[in-house]
Every structure is written in structure tokens, then in C-alpha cells.
């Protein structure tokens, strides 16, 4: 019996420039912390899609479907896009509120915080600490105003808090496996292919987190709602479950997968690159409102080798 297996994608070796990159990353993290932009670490491993935290290819050692002698996906999404932030300066996203700088005014690009203590002022006026250029401390001054600037004292935006909570958890790309496996032997034209992925919470959810600001707490729940497999021949298969690992001596050896498979198999011989994308839904609730944030994560690829079915006649 022919089987298909393999190993994970090795991590990239350490290069001499790593200390310089780490120093640069640390400086960037400090800058982005001041501006309120979440920082995501780059993940280990090879062949990761752009912007992914982590990805690697894995498999174990099942047999070949269609050989009787040898033997999908849960849910809710990579970097998925989100709604535009409400506070921006010079094309970059910044926090609408800072504990140290106060509230941001999109109209002039300055933060405002009530000065403490207040100097003597004419009736109806107040002193504010103004920090312009999107929070540049070098521009900080004290200004006298008739009233608070636009946005001052506004409650936190619950979706912004939801995204802050989302930044505190890691939605990993799917770890995928298929049978048949090229490393143990090819599959055959027209025979079923099984696909499955690791079903841990970091890969399929549910994951939960919360973020609070100025008395408002927003809670999120993230889970995969589907996994879409790209089979390398133009076919895309959607599964609602992580799928079932194939075993050569299992009760369904030689049959189709019970919940995530390419049942009709490949029509022609060849080597096909298989990958998968998990689509997450991040549901948030807080401040009397609720909503969803879509995210997705993309796996690496695994090769499937398919040979022609040979018919022997006498």
C-alpha cells in the first residue's frame, strides 16, 4: 500500500542582521505604542503569507484513500480588513484618546487635555494642554479656549475597543494535512482526497478577550465559520468542520471523508499544491452595541501527487 506523509516547513535560519532588525523593531514598537497603533510580531516558519503571525505545514502518516487494503471546519476571520479608524493623522492611525495627552481633534491634528491646575481665566474659558502633529510632545503648549474642542470628553468607541481586544489574541493560520501524500507515494486519478486541519482553539476558536477604557468594557468572541480549501486544479471546497484525519486501518479507509474531502478526486495526473483559508468572525458586545469584525488566515501549501490509474488486462 502506498501512503503519503511529510514534515513541517522549517523555520528560516538566523541571519547575522538579526540584532539590527531586533533593535529597529524595538524602536518601531516604542513609536507605535505612543501613537496607539497595535504592534504584531512577525511569525517564524517558511512560506508564510504576508502579514501572518505564524504558519507551518504539518501532516502525520495516513494511508491512501481508495486503497481498501490500507486501511472540515468549525467556526468564525488575516489579516481581515476592518472599518477605517475614526482618528488618523498624516495617513496613519492613532488613538482617539490617550491617558497622557487627552482627546484627539481630527480637525487640527491636536490632542487636548484640561490643564491641571487651572490658571486664572476669564469667565467661561479654560486652559488646555495642546499637543499637535498627532501627539508630538515637541509641539506641546497650553492654550486658552472658550470651550472644549470637537470630540473632547467623548466616550470611547466600542468598535475601537473591540479591535484593541482583538490585538491581544492570536488567530493562527490553519495547520493543514491531506491524504494521499506525495512523500509516501502518489494518489490515483478519480480517487477521493481527504483534507483536515488542526482543531485547537488558536486555529478554530472560540477565543475570548476584553478591553476597557473610561468605564466601558467590550468583550469579543472569535471563531472560524468556514475553511475554504484550494485544491490546485481550480477547485475550491468549503468545509464547516476542521475535517477528519485519514487512517489506513480506519472504518472509512478507501472511502470519502465524512466531513471534509475532495470526493471525486483529481481528473488528471499531476502534482497539485493544496492550501486552505480559515474565515473568522469576531463578534463584539459592549456599550449597548454589538458588531462583527471579519478576519481570515491562510495556510502554507502541501503538495499532492496524482498518478494515472493503471488497468491490467490478460
Inside any domain, residue 219:
yes
Predicted local confidence at residue 248, as pLDDT:
84
Inside any domain, residue 116:
yes
Inside any domain, residue 244:
yes
Q: Calculate the CA dihedral of residues 50, 204, 170, 99 and round it to 10 degrees.
A: 120
* Whether residue 256 sits in one domain with residue 211: yes
pLDDT in tens, the chain (314 residues): 333 433 333 333 333 443 333 333 334 333 333 334 333 333 333 333 444 444 333 343 445 555 544 333 333 333 333 333 478 888 888 888 888 899 898 889 999 999 998 888 888 899 999 999 999 998 999 999 988 888 788 788 899 899 999 999 999 999 999 999 766 678 899 999 999 999 999 999 999 999 988 778 999 999 999 999 999 999 999 999 999 999 888 888 889 999 999 999 999 999 999 999 999 999 999 989 999 999 999 999 999 999 997 765 55
Planar angle of CA 251, 303, 197, nearest 5 degrees: 50
Predicted local confidence at residue 158, as pLDDT:
92
- Of 137, 147, 173, the closest CA to residue 54 belongs to 173
Predicted local confidence at residue 65, as pLDDT:
58
* Whether residue 163 sits in one domain with residue 256: yes
* Whether residue 233 sits in one domain with residue 141: no
How many distinct structural domains can be found in the chain?
A: 2
Can you give the residue range of the structural domain that contains 292? 45-83+157-307
* Whether residue 123 sits in one domain with residue 254: no
* Whether residue 239 sits in one domain with residue 168: yes
**E strands within the chain?**
88-89, 92-93, 97-98, 102-105, 110-114, 126-131, 141-145, 176-179, 187-188, 193-197, 207-213, 216-230, 236-239, 261-262, 270-286, 289-298, 302-307
* Whether residue 176 sits in one domain with residue 254: yes
Amino acid at each position: 500500500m502506498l501512503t503519503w506523509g511529510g514534515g513541517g516547513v522549517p523555520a528560516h535560519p538566523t541571519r547575522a542582521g538579526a540584532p539590527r532588525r531586533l533593535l529597529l523593531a524595538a524602536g518601531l514598537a516604542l513609536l507605535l505604542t505612543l501613537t496607539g497603533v497595535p504592534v504584531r510580531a512577525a511569525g517564524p516558519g517558511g512560506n508564510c503569507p504576508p502579514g501572518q503571525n505564524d504558519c507551518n505545514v504539518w501532516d502525520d502518516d495516513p494511508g491512501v484513500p481508495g486503497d481498501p487494503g490500507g486501511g472540515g471546519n468549525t467556526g468564525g476571520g488575516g489579516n481581515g480588513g476592518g472599518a477605517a479608524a475614526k482618528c488618523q493623522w498624516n495617513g496613519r492611525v492613532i488613538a482617539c484618546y490617550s491617558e497622557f495627552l487627552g482627546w484627539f481633534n481630527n480637525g487640527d491634528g491636536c490632542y487636548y487635555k484640561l490643564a491641571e491646575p487651572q490658571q486664572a481665566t476669564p469667565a467661561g474659558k479654560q486652559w488646555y494642554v495642546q499637543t499637535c502633529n498627532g501627539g508630538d510632545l515637541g509641539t506641546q503648549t497650553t492654550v486658552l479656549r472658550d470651550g472644549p474642542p470637537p470630540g473632547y470628553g467623548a466616550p470611547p468607541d466600542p468598535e475601537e475597543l473591540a479591535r484593541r481586544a482583538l490585538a491581544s489574541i492570536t488567530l493562527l493560520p490553519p495547520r493543514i494535512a491531506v491524504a494521499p501524500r506525495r512523500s509516501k507515494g502518489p494518489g490515483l486519478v478519480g480517487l477521493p482526497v481527504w483534507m483536515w486541519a488542526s482543531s485547537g482553539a488558536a486555529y478554530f476558536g472560540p477565543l475570548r478577550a476584553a478591553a476597557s477604557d473610561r468605564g466601558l468594557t467590550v468583550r469579543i468572541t472569535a471563531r472560524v465559520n468556514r475553511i475554504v480549501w484550494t485544491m490546485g486544479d481550480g477547485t475550491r471546497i468549503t468545509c464547516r468542520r476542521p475535517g477528519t484525519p485519514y487512517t489506513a486501518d480506519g472504518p472509512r479507509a478507501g472511502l470519502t471523508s465524512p466531513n471534509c474531502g475532495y470526493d471525486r478526486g483529481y481528473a488528471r495526473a499531476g502534482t497539485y499544491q493544496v492550501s486552505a483559508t480559515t474565515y473568522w468572525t469576531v463578534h463584539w458586545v459592549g456599550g449597548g452595541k454589538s458588531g462583527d469584525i471579519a478576519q481570515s488566515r491562510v495556510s502554507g501549501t502541501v503538495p499532492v501527487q496524482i498518478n494515472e490509474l493503471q488497468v491490467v488486462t490478460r
